[in-house]
Amino acid sequence: MGMVGHSGGGSTALQAMHDDPRIAAAVNMDGQLHFPGPDGRTGVHLTDVAEQGLDRPFLLLGTRADDSGPHQQQPGWDALWKHSTGWHADFTLDGSRHGSYTDAETLLPQLARQGAIAPGTLRNDIGDIRPDRAVLATRTYVAAFFDHWLRGHDTHLLDGPSARFPEMVHQP
């Protein structure tokens, strides 16, 4: 069984895998694993999965570097990376924003064309990656991950950079 989620759902997918050994693999699409300290201003609180790591495969899919970026930029993702013994990979969807891993990627441009939302709002929500490329890359990478870890079919897409998907930046 595998689990995938975006934002809070991505964090939940990893935490659920940590807590439930039946989950063999998980994908976190831009879900943070750290939160402000108890007073809300100082320090960082890490989730259990970030502090203890995982012994099974997981995939992190982040957004452009000035948003969430790669695992090295996020305390929770960085701690998870360092504490995990299972296979793991991190890719950043260049030009994306938090909403790029949702249906907002295809719906918001339609609303913008109709004048319902401003171009600046569109860029803030989904970035400047072409929607068709964002959707194709997301679907392809998530499918390749689960095909490999749940079905035993390795396409080698997750091995590193891909000429087919230059917008997916591999984070070593």
What pTM was computed for the model? 0.93
- pLDDT at residue 28, rounded to an integer: 98
| 46 has pLDDT over 80 | yes
Domains of the chain listed by start with CATH number = 2-170 (3.40.50.1820)
| 37 has pLDDT over 80 | no
| DSSP conformational letter for 149 | H
Residue 83 phi/psi, 5-degree rounding, is -95, 0
Considering only the C-alpha atoms of the chain, give the largest distance between any 2 of them, rounded to a whole number of Å.
Answer: 49
Average pLDDT over residues 74-82: 96
Q: Percent helix, strand and coil across the chain, each rounded to 5?
A: 45, 20, 40
Q: Which two tokens stand for residue 33?
A: 């694993």
pLDDT tens profile 61-74: 999 867 788 899 99
pLDDT tens profile 104-147: 999 999 999 999 999 889 999 999 999 999 999 999 999 999 99
Compute and round to an integer the Cα radius of gyration of the chain.
16
**Cα separation values, 159 from 13, 33, 88, 133, 172, Å:** 22, 24, 10, 20, 10
Nearest residue to 65 via CA among 90, 41, 82: 90
- pLDDT at residue 113, rounded to an integer: 92
Q: Name the packing angle between helices 119-126 and 104-113 (round to 10°).
A: 170
E-assigned strand segments in the chain: 2-6, 25-29, 34-36, 44-46, 58-63, 88-93, 168-170
Kindly tell me the sign of the dihedral angle through the C-alpha atoms of 84, 89, 92, 97.
negative
- pLDDT at residue 40, rounded to an integer: 66
| pLDDT cut 90: percent of the chain above it | 86
